[in-house]
Chains A and B, each alone.
Chain A
Amino acid sequence: MLEIKNISKNLGDFNLKNLNLSVKKGDYFVLLGISGAGKTILLEIIAGLISPDSGEIFLNKKNITKQKIQKRQIGLVFQDYAIFPHLNVKNNIAYPLKNKNLSAFEKNKQILKLAEEMNITHLLNRKPATLSGGELQRVALARTLALKPEILLLDEPLASLDIQLKDELRHLLRNINKKGQTIIHVTHDYQEVISLANKIAIINNGSIEQTGTPNEIFQHPKSQFIANFTGIKNFFKAELKNKQAIINNSIAFTLLTDKTQGKGNVLINSQDIIISENKVESSACNNFKGIITDIIPAPLGIEIFTDIGIKMVALITTQSLKKLNLYKGKNIWISFKASGVIFLEN
């Protein structure tokens, strides 16, 4: 659907270098990178706000590199929403509809449909100055979707929302994507999108370092940067049954959740895992016997690779390594609290 070929842009002190990306119809594509990595610039190049120095962009096999912004049918939701302050919510949503030859009745119908989907029907007559960040975000989404874009570009849409609003918006974005809308979502926070993405590209210093599914990226990071950036070693597909996450149908993690069932992924930060020589009675609900398969120094300590039926990594200090006399092949116990198990529903 969208092919980005060898896109380069020199912005003085920052360069995008030979970027290549391929996004398929219906994808939820996440562009992940630290601040200043070039994510937003790439998004603006796709939308046509910035022209690349070289390279080409194809949308449905048509070269759109030099096409005008208003002709591209690529909707961009800006990080700061860019809601028109002098128009009320209804007129903001109606803005892209005025280019289409629709009757007033049809326009109204579309506005109401989008407002209902975004749960902002009660805000239609309000001015943007009176809306909260979450409400503005929904208005921006409704307005961009009114364009019926081929691709929806989202620039850090969850960045300035609180946890509850983030959950609501994630749910909303998932539903939009399920209806077939192709989405490219730019973010610096992998945790906020890992449950949404079906494809991820890691961008660093103006280059794409790795592209793949979330599993490929998190379990087989291609570079030290990606490993450090994602910071996650314990990432498993899991099924929730009776408030336990079942991994590979063989091992069950106890976790804190209000859900009883569902499919998703489980994350456990390696620094949350405790290693001991014997089983220790503690408040930790998850205790497993295993064997050390490798010991590798990491920037912030020592990574202990273990096999407890699945492979898990614990991060400990050098002092703990010496104190417990850990070595490759040693039998150990690992434990972690139910609150350390993060379940991300699909």
Chain B
Amino acid sequence: MNKPQPFNIIVSLLGALILLFIIAPLIGMVIATSPQDIIETSKDPEVQNSIWLTVWTSICSTIFFAIAAIPLSYLLAKKTFRFKHLINGIIDLPIVIPHTAAGIAVLGFISRNSYIGKLSSNIGLDFVGHPAGIAAAMAFVSIPFLINAARDGFAKVPLKLEQAALNLGASPSRVFFTISLPLAWKSVLSGLIMMFARGMSEFGAVVIIAYHPMITPVLIYERFSSFGLKYARPVAIIFIAVCLIVFTILRLLSKEKYLTNNVRNKKHIKKFRRF
């Protein structure tokens, strides 16, 4: 048996410390909360509504903004144009600025005094204090995750395949939908999941735009500031569990699809080798 290298031991120990740093607070929170409190909190309509609101606003935000973000990722991956680097930098801005500042920026853009705010008021939609405003705030901070992942995915699609499709008489839009998007789909899906997950967990930007109706991160903050840690903890545990379940299901679904394709290909390879 090989003797463990000191370097490997140090690396493993450091890794274990980081894992402990992530897991310990979460486990501590679960241990400090009685199952009775968790069950009672989960029956609370305010908590249920809040979790439901958080999940569906994040889903809507992801789907709505993806319609424009995915084509933008394609452009950034495939086309050469002036100020492309600047645009790439702008896309990463929401990641680096404080989220409360992001909330202030979005609020200025969609508040009743803004052009868009006035325009939407005319059709009876007021972003501030509305799920649409929550979705906008979620999208603002989470959209870089989708654009970056999708852009990397599109960049990996060989240009030759797109040229071959054009050569076979397909229009550019058909090439996008039948060649580029399916081949980049794994990265796009990963980006969609990350955007959705990041949107669900957003607090800073949302709280500026819509304290009410309360998404779960705002509800946790509200219970903590009004009633203390004991009352905030069960909501936090339930929300973390929901996030983990949703995130795991989505990851498994995307992985399942990928594995199924791979297994199918491997079966074909085995079949081919038998010839």
Q: How long is the Cα–Cα vector from A127 to B158 in the complex, in angstroms?
A: 18
Main secondary structure of the interface of B (DSSP, over half): helix
Closest to A49 in B: B163
Q: How long is the Cα–Cα vector from A48 to B163 in the complex, in angstroms?
A: 10
Asked if B179 is at the interface (CB within 8 A of a chain A CB), the reply is: yes
Q: How long is the Cα–Cα vector from A47 to B269 in the complex, in angstroms?
A: 34
Partner of A144, one of B168, B265, B269: B168
Asked if A288 is at the interface (CB within 8 A of a chain B CB), the reply is: no
Asked if A143 is at the interface (CB within 8 A of a chain B CB), the reply is: yes
Interfacial residues of chain A within 191-228, with CB under 8 A of chain B in the complex: none
> Which of B166, B169, B183, B272 has the largest number of chain A CB atoms within 10 A?
B169
Q: Are A86 and B166 in contact (CB under 8 A)?
A: no
Q: How long is the Cα–Cα vector from A281 to B168 in the complex, in angstroms?
A: 60
Q: How near does chain A come to B158, taking the closest CB pair, in angstroms?
A: 8
Q: How long is the Cα–Cα vector from A210 to B85 in the complex, in angstroms?
A: 47
Give chain A residues whose Cβ lies under 8 Å from the Cβ of B3: none
Give chain A residues whose Cβ lies under 8 Å from the Cβ of B161: 82, 84-85
Q: Are B167 and A70 in contact (CB under 8 A)?
A: yes
Give chain B residues whose Cβ lies under 8 Å from the Cβ of A127: 264-265, 268
Q: Are B169 and A70 in contact (CB under 8 A)?
A: yes
Give chain B residues whose Cβ lies under 8 Å from the Cβ of A99: 168-170, 174
Q: How long is the Cα–Cα vector from A22 to B6 in the complex, in angstroms?
A: 72
A-side interface residues, number (CB < 8 Å): 32
Partner of A143, one of B168, B171, B265: B168
A129 and B170 contact, Cβ closer than 8 Å, known pairs A78-B160, A86-B182: no
Give chain A residues whose Cβ lies under 8 Å from the Cβ of B166: 49, 68-70
Q: Are B160 and A85 in contact (CB under 8 A)?
A: no
Partner of B165, one of A72, A74, A84: A84
Q: How near does chain B come to A81, taking the closest CB pair, in angstroms?
A: 9
Interfacial residues of chain B within 244-275, with CB under 8 A of chain A in the complex: 264-265, 268-269, 271-272
A131 and B272 contact, Cβ closer than 8 Å, known pairs A69-B166, A99-B170: yes
Q: Are B269 and A130 in contact (CB under 8 A)?
A: yes
Asked if A7 is at the interface (CB within 8 A of a chain B CB), the reply is: no
Q: How long is the Cα–Cα vector from A50 to B271 in the complex, in angstroms?
A: 40
Q: Are B171 and A70 in contact (CB under 8 A)?
A: yes
Partner of A130, one of B167, B170, B171, B271: B271
Closest to A73 in B: B169
Q: Are B164 and A78 in contact (CB under 8 A)?
A: yes
Q: How long is the Cα–Cα vector from A175 to B146 in the complex, in angstroms?
A: 50
Q: How near does chain A come to B265, taking the closest CB pair, in angstroms?
A: 5
Give chain B residues whose Cβ lies under 8 Å from the Cβ of A130: 265, 268-269, 271-272
Closest to A129 in B: B265
Give chain B residues whose Cβ lies under 8 Å from the Cβ of A74: 167
A129 and B268 contact, Cβ closer than 8 Å, known pairs A69-B163, A78-B160: yes
Q: Are B170 and A70 in contact (CB under 8 A)?
A: yes
Give chain A residues whose Cβ lies under 8 Å from the Cβ of B160: 78, 80, 82
Closest to A122 in B: B275
Q: How near does chain A come to B146, taking the closest CB pair, in angstroms?
A: 21
Give chain B residues whose Cβ lies under 8 Å from the Cβ of A69: 163, 166-167
Closest to A69 in B: B166
Q: How long is the Cα–Cα vector from A338 to B267 in the complex, in angstroms?
A: 48
Q: How long is the Cα–Cα vector from A58 to B4 in the complex, in angstroms?
A: 71
Q: Are B268 and A75 in contact (CB under 8 A)?
A: no
Knowing that A68-B166, A80-B160 touch, tell me 20 more A-B residue pairs with CB under 8 angstroms. Answer: A49-B163, A69-B163, A69-B167, A70-B168, A70-B171, A71-B169, A73-B169, A75-B168, A78-B163, A82-B163, A82-B164, A95-B178, A98-B170, A126-B272, A127-B264, A127-B265, A130-B265, A130-B269, A144-B167, A147-B168
Considering the complex of A and B, which 6 residue pairs feature the smallest CB-CB distances, nearest first? A130-B268, A82-B164, A96-B168, A69-B166, A99-B169, A82-B160
